[in-house]
Structure formats: C-alpha cells, structure tokens
Amino acid sequence: MQFPASQIALLINGKIEGPPEAVVTSFGKIEEAKEGQLTFFSNPKYEEYIYTTKASVVLINDSFELKQPVTATLIRVPDAYTAFAILLGKYQEIIQQQLTGIQQPSYIAKTAVYGENIFIGAFAYIGENVKIGSNTKIFPNAFIGDNVTIGDNCLIDPGVKIYHDCHVGNHVNILAGSVIGSDGFGFAPQPDGTFIKIPQLGNVIIEDKVDIGANATIDRATVGSTIIRSGAKLDNLVQVGHNAEVGSNTIIAAQAGVSGSTKIGKNVMIGGQAGLVGHILLGDGAKVNAQSGVSKSIAPGKSVTGSPAYDYTAALRSQAIARNLPEMEKRIKELEALVMQLLKEKV
C-alpha cells in the first residue's frame, strides 16, 4: 500500500513542509528508516537523525526549529509521537479489514451469532449463545466460552481464553495467551488446616477501548463482576484478582498484581512488578512506583513507592539521607572526639 504525504497530512491534520507527493509504503525508526518509509521525531536525544535520516516523510512537532536543511518531507503536528501512533492504528485497521471469513477447522456452536466482516481463525472454539460484533477478529486457537459477548472492532489474539458469561466491549484488544474469567483465588480455611474451594460464580466485564497485553490474567468474581473500565491499559503478565475493579484510563505495567476486591480509580498509574493487597482503594490519579508493595489505601493524586509503599517525596528524602549515612557517621565520631577532648581540657 502506498500513501502520499498529502494524504497522510489530511489524516492527522498536519502541515506539510517539502514535496507533498512524497510516497511511503511502510514505517521505520528515524535512525534506521529507508527511502519510502515514514518515521517521527519528538525526543531531543534523536535530533541528529532528523538531518541524516533517509525516510521519505517525517512527523515533527510544531514547536521544533530546524538548525539545518533536511531532505525528507516534514509534516508538522502538535505531538509527533501521538500522530505516529494514530497512523499506525489506521494502518493496522486497513490490514485487519482485509482479513475476513471463517477458517477451518474451527468450531462454532449453532446458537452463536456474529456480525459482518468478522474473522475466525483455524482451531478457534466459539461456544453456545456467544455474540460477536462486526469487524471483530478472533485468531487461531482462541477459546470463547458459552454466553460470552464480544463487541465490534475487537482483536482477540491467538491462544486467548475467554471463559463463560464474560462480556467484552467495543474496540478491545486482547493479546496472545491472556486468560479472561478463570476462577478467582478463593479458598476457605478449615480447622484441620485444609481448604475448601469457594465457587466463583461471577464474571468479568471489560468495557470499551481496553487493551490487555500478552499472558495477562483477569479472574472472574466470586459473585458479581470483576470490572476493567473503559480506556484502561494492562501490560503483559498483569494479574487482576476476583471482584477487583480497574478504573477508566488507568495503566498497569508488566508483572503487576492486583489482589481481590481492590478498587482502582481512574487515571491511576501502576509501575511494573508492583503488588497491591486486597480490599483497598486507590484514588483517582494515584501513582504507584515500580516494585512497590501497597498494603493500604492511597488518596487521590498521591504518589507512593517502596515496600511497604509510602509517600513518594518522603521516600526520596529518606533515600537521600540513607546515602549520606557514612559521611554523617564520620562527622558524629569527629564530634564525639571533640567533645571528649573539651571535657578533658575542662577537667
């Protein structure tokens, strides 16, 4: 597929500097791009490459001032990184729209219904009473359990498992190997030290425009629903426990774990390998640093770090003090020696 700079500029409402007929057929990194490719420049660390790149078209921030001539056609936009992401999304949509039909062998229950322009890959399993919206793509070896609902324009990657009764909204991407709606971790301790499994009778609700990375797991609720609100983004290997709720536009980085019944507000940011205990509340806009252990609720807008996690600014001050401890010890010993000397002279 070929796209001229003039067409690209229309898609992202950009302003062209250079030949508008420049054509691109693929994407590349600014330091490696070749003729016929599109790239972007937004990080000052890569400024040298804007003058040497062989890319045919470069997206660039409105505010950037060139220090020397460039050979590529430039398209100026408010945020080059965001514009590049939009173009990648458009390109992906075009590719996915070309992928339609039902491959064999696959199993689709007679009671399942689906919309227009869907794709179901080989060895996929579609259970009883499943509802799949238009333009949704389900790739090989996916399992869609009974009574599952999947909305329009979704992408269900190879090997994804969506258990019975779960609901997936519109424009949701679930990457390879993720498991949605497996049993929550519920066991009742007994006097003799054994455990009785608590049946997990709820489901998982994933709202619109959610992205879930590879090999993530979201447990079904004991009763009610585990909920991932609209616009949330979960990285690879994220675990969300039963009856938890992840707020709108919240981001959770890789290997983080959210225990059962924890409620996370909107626009929260949780770093990689962070761990959250159950039955706590993270307020809107809270931030949890990577590898933090969160053992109690966090107020809206507050940032925490460490294990157990506490106020981010206070933690930085403590770390600064800790780094100075050897010097402080030396000074204390010098003061002690001086005091002892003064005492001896007084005597």
Which residues are the active-site residues? Answer: 242
The DSSP string of 251-276 is EE-TT-EE-TT-EE-TT-EE-TT-EE
Angle of CA points 151, 152, 153, to nearest 5°: 125
Residue type, 38: L
List the structure tokens of 296: 């109690």
Strands 211-212 and 233-234: parallel
Q: Which residues contact 106 (CB under 8 A, 6 or more apart)?
A: 120, 121, 122, 123, 124, 125, 126
Buried/exposed code over 193-207 (b: 16+ C-beta within 10 A; e: otherwise): eeeeeeebebbbbbb
Which residues have C-beta within 8 Å of that of residue 316, sequence separation ≥ 6? Answer: none
How far is residue 88's CA from residue 85's CA, in Å, rounded to a whole number? 5
Cα–Cα dist 157/165, whole Å: 19
The 3 state secondary structure assigned to 84-98 is: HHHHHHHHHHHHHHC
Nearest C-alpha neighbor of 127 from the set 198, 181, 173, 184: 181
> Three-class SS of residue 340?
helix
Q: Tell me the three state secondary structure of residue 23.
A: strand
- The alpha carbon dihedral of 94, 96, 99, 100 has a sign of negative
